[in-house]
Amino acid sequence: MAGRTSWLAAAAALSLLSAVPAWPQWLQWGGPHRDFTCDSTGLADQWPEDGPRKIWSTDIGPGHSAIVTDGELLFTMCRRDDQDAILAYSAATGAKVWETRYDAPPKPDMLLEFGCGPHSTPLLAGDRLFTVGGLVHFRCLDKKAGQVLWSHDLMDEMGASHLQRGYGPSPITYRDLVILNIGGTDTGVAAFRQDTGEVAWKSEKFRGGYPSPMIVKINDEDHLVVALGADRIGLDPATGQTRWRATVDIQLAGIMSSPLFIPPDRVFFSCAYGGGSQLFQIAFKDGQYAAEELWFQPKMKVMHGDSIRIGDFVVGSSGDFGPAFLIGLDLSSGKVLWRQRGFAKATLLYADNKLIILDEEGHLALATATPEGLQVHSRAKVLEEKSWTVPTLVGTRLYLRDNRAIMALDLGRGAGASGSDITEAHR
Amino acid sequence: MAPPVSVVQSSALRSFAGHTWQSRASPYARVFRASAIAVAVNVAQALPAPPETQPATQPARAAWPMCGGSPARNAVAPPQPIPARWDLETKENVKWVARLGTQTYGGPVVAGGKVFVGTNNGSELRPGITGDKGCVLCFDEQSGTLLWQATHDKLASGSANDWPEQGVASTPLVDGNRVYYVSNRCALVCADVAGFHDGKNDGPFTDEKYTGAQDADFVWMLDMIGQLGVYPHNLAACSPVGFGDLLFVCTSNGVDEDHEKPPTPDAPSFIAVDKQTGKVVWRRNDPNGRILHGQWSSPAYALIGGQPQVFFAGGDGWCYSFEPATGAPLWKFDLNPKDAVWEAGGGGTKTSIVATPVVCAEKVFLAVGDDPETQRGPGHLYAIDATKRGDVTETARLWHVGGKEFGRTIASVAVADGLAYAVDLDGYLSCFDEKTGQRRWRYDMQAAVWGSPCVVDGKVLLGNADGELVVLRHGPTLKELARNDMRHPIYTTPAVANGVLYVATQRFLYAIQTPEGEHATRGN
């Protein structure tokens, strides 16, 4: 894990935080390391029969955006009829602090049987909150008051794609920039200055796509890695110049899940809809980067959730049409180590050597994953509606939502003891 | 358990001799003679000339000319040696491999020395024909060489009616020198099995867009959108069935893009069409405004106690039987519990039917299910007595398995030797006692299953969405013989003819054969 640790340090240095956070935070899609792992400790090994202790819960409204937090406020998005709503809640009590709305009527060419999102997860940087709605309304807000500081309507301005079911990828920060997928008329990805909202760069043209970008260090250079349709690309996050690009089979163009970085130079992608998982090595030869496929495994098809790397293997929820399986995949060979039924399509978190599983039917589970298999220690139904949102873990507190409600659960040891809940302890 | 060989062979020969699909084409007769050694013992009993009105209940050994192999749709092939294992790497037991498009749902059929598959244009096999299209490919049965390709442009209305990249999802029906299928454009197509290789452009349809030697010669087309006002939800997918002069087709008329209601409830759901002219003979729209989602099932045809019947599964969750000549209703059966509630997206207790009815021993075997992407919910599998009349929901139910015991499915049942094999979308393959519904065993396919089981040579064959073709022993005790890696997902049902197993994955068609089978074929 030495390589991993150094990469985590590099990723932390990349983040905009100039000071050590006062309390645990989850500022972006994927959390502190943008890979759905975090450094929480003290998680209980078992939960009570009916699930972890509920600290609070409240109705929020439809939407699938994940929850980010500076430790004090929680931020997410939901839909109110033909409007998008950006919401701030008190982490301690679940009380709503502010709500900012804007009009976002759906377009006639959208597919709306699963709603109009929002799917994209807000991004916190300093005192600012960046959000993107289902119709690619990009907003920068003051996180304390919810006041809009600047905005872009990226469908109008750049021909950005609403991806038929509503824009979904989550923005990322780089230095003084915020970067997001566009899938527009002449640009695939664009960067904006955080302070003014001014366009800093536009990449060459790529299709739009649901996977969220990540920024990693390969060959001592920064790469913004993202999957857009059949393109797997690495850009220079400072300029938007393409560093490498691999065009994969059209059957892998329906990719929605986020890539996973395997330091020092490998990237894992997984795609549902009859797709599969691929591991690429990003090689630097003769002054040029090239992405080379190391293996392809059609049996692991992660639809819209995330995948978790644990040592030498990857865990993901595989399935598109029909049943889902949790699958452990050997990173060096691409071989399926194990697969297990019992959860609908699921999103995953990893902390304190524990896998936290939330399936789309609202079952939350605590498990141990090893190359030998998955051992589920506790499982409870905690959400009622469609649960497509990856939960957020800060300290021992888990924030999660479905298409209607948002809640806080205590995953700490000795459930019920508030001392185990870092946020409460801080207060 | 050894299948009762003599019975199976007799019925195969009877259907061979009397069934118009096979009796027209001479190659069958040639193959029949060559394979006669294996079946000669039964020839005398097997050939009492049956009436011409007798539809086959099982495919002949020499052909698998439609979805399910015969109008009864019961995918049980007569005895012929089929390997349990093969190896795509070493080519062990692999006769040939042919490239398909990139998404293949129209499973292989075999007749008259040709193999047909519905697929998309993802591989752009024909020079100059590029981009997303629906395709039917015709291959030479012996070599796997591509003979011709039928090409259909996508509908301008896009995913609402013709989902991108899905291609032709209809499994073709071969009848003598004609092949019939439903295109991605919701047209019932009649094409010449010879393509343009016979040097003729058969009509009335003569203004083909593509007229190269490797393009399709269309004979007639029935545009079910333009001529019948049908609104296919996402894709028209019916695999036609036929008997005598008629073809029977489910139109795929469905709900609107917002999943609220069928925009054209008065358009026909079920039609009978003159095989020679493409003219509609009768039409019915029984599901009407009660269509829940799409109508992606395919009809079956059988003779029940002297009465011909054509069976349609409606998008309202009912199975209907009609008098084939007139469309007069014979019976109907509601597959959903009376208190079931429909919710778009699959969350409710009520659901549609996508599977094709299967007929065996005067029973219809059928289960509920919906678009595989919708949420999972309680399933219902029935054995229905096909001899009753009227609303037979209460009276014709012979047995039922459902709830947590059997999930929703889009696959058909295969019934052989008193055992009914049924698989749900979750990938659990069950073996039931065909008479009682009592479960003998259950096998975990470990992946989603769209295709249906096929029984041949004492084996049950079934593909899964992870690209494995699983071979189990046919019988009341479970025994796994092999899990064959096929590299790409399988959403089709295997077909068997002339000692060769055909498996279509999303991208390739494999002809699989034992060395003994190969020897027998060469003997021809």
Its pTM stands at: 0.86
Which residue type is seen at B504?
Answer: A
Q: What SS3 class is residue B422?
A: strand
A111 interfaces chain B, CB cutoff of 8 Å = yes
What's the first-to-final CA gap in chain A, in angstroms?
34
Most confidently predicted of A141-150, A295-304, B254-263: A141-150
Chain A residues in contact with B447 by the CB 8 A cut-off are: 299, 322-323, 325
Pick from A110, A113, A252 the residue to mutate for testing the B interface (most B CBs within 10 Å): A113
CA–CA min distance A251, chain B (Å):
7
Q: What is the pLDDT of residues A363-387, one digit of tens each?
A: 999 999 999 999 999 999 999 999 9
Q: What is the pLDDT of residues A4-59, one digit of tens each?
A: 444 444 444 444 444 444 568 999 999 999 999 999 999 999 999 999 999 999 99
Q: What SS3 class is residue B22?
A: helix
pLDDT at B444 over 70: yes
* Chain pair A-B, CB pairs under 8 angstroms: 60
CA–CA min distance A242, chain B (Å):
27
Q: What is the pLDDT of residue A17?
A: 43
Q: What is the pLDDT of residues A341-350, one digit of tens each?
A: 999 999 999 9
Q: CB distance A344–B376 less than 8 Å?
A: yes
Q: What is the pLDDT of residues B203-232, one digit of tens each?
A: 999 999 999 999 999 999 999 999 999 999
Most confidently predicted of A112-116, B178-182, B257-261: B178-182
Chain B residues in contact with A298 by the CB 8 A cut-off are: 466-467, 487-489
pLDDT at B367 over 70: yes
Domain spanning B94-522, CATH architecture: 7 Propeller (2.130)
The domain locations on chain B are 94-522
Q: Does residue A179 contact residue A191 with C-beta atoms inside 8 Å?
A: yes
Q: Does residue B150 contact residue B218 with C-beta atoms inside 8 Å?
A: yes
Q: What is the pLDDT of residues B150-186, one digit of tens each?
A: 999 999 999 999 999 999 999 999 999 999 999 999 9
In chain A, what are the domains? Answer: 2-426 (2.130.10.10)
Q: What SS3 class is residue B289?
A: helix
Residue B188: pLDDT band (50, 70, 90) is very high
Average pLDDT, chain B: 89
pLDDT at B34 over 60: no
- Which residue from A minimizes the CA distance to B293? A113
Pick from B103, B370, B443, B466 the residue to mutate for testing the A interface (most A CBs within 10 Å): B466
Nearest residue, CB atoms, A298 vs list B345, B449, B488? B488
Phi, psi for residue B40 in degrees, rounded to 5? -55, -35
Q: What is the pLDDT of residue A14?
A: 44
CA-CA distances (angstroms) from residue B491 to A95, A405, B64, B411?
49, 37, 18, 10
Chain A residues in contact with B131 by the CB 8 A cut-off are: none
Q: CB distance A251–B122 less than 8 Å?
A: yes
Phi, psi for residue B194 in degrees, rounded to 5? -80, -10
Q: CB distance A251–B102 less than 8 Å?
A: yes
Pick from A321, A327, A384 the residue to mutate for testing the B interface (most B CBs within 10 Å): A321
Q: Does residue A245 contact residue A229 with C-beta atoms inside 8 Å?
A: no
Which residue type is seen at A102?
Answer: Y
Average pLDDT, chain A: 92
- Which residue from B minimizes the CA distance to A361? B375
Nearest residue, CB atoms, B425 vs list A111, A299, A322? A322
Q: What is the pLDDT of residue A103?
A: 98
pLDDT, average across residues B12-33: 30
pLDDT, average across residues A253-282: 95
pLDDT at B377 over 70: yes
Q: CB distance A250–B425 less than 8 Å?
A: no
- Give the span between the Cα atoms of B345 and B293, in whole angstroms: 9
Phi, psi for residue A19 in degrees, rounded to 5? -120, 155
ipTM: 0.81
Nearest residue, CB atoms, B344 vs list A113, A249, A299? A113
pLDDT, average across residues B240-269: 95
Sheet of strand A405-410: strand arrangement:
A53-59, A405-410, A397-401, A392-394
- The pLDDT > 70 percentage for chain A reads 91
Nearest residue, CB atoms, B466 vs list A112, A298, A341? A298
Chain A residues in contact with B124 by the CB 8 A cut-off are: none
Chain A residues in contact with B345 by the CB 8 A cut-off are: 113-114
Phi, psi for residue A14 in degrees, rounded to 5? -70, -30
Q: Answer whether the bond into residue A118 is a cis peptide, omega within 30°.
A: yes
A112 interfaces chain B, CB cutoff of 8 Å = yes
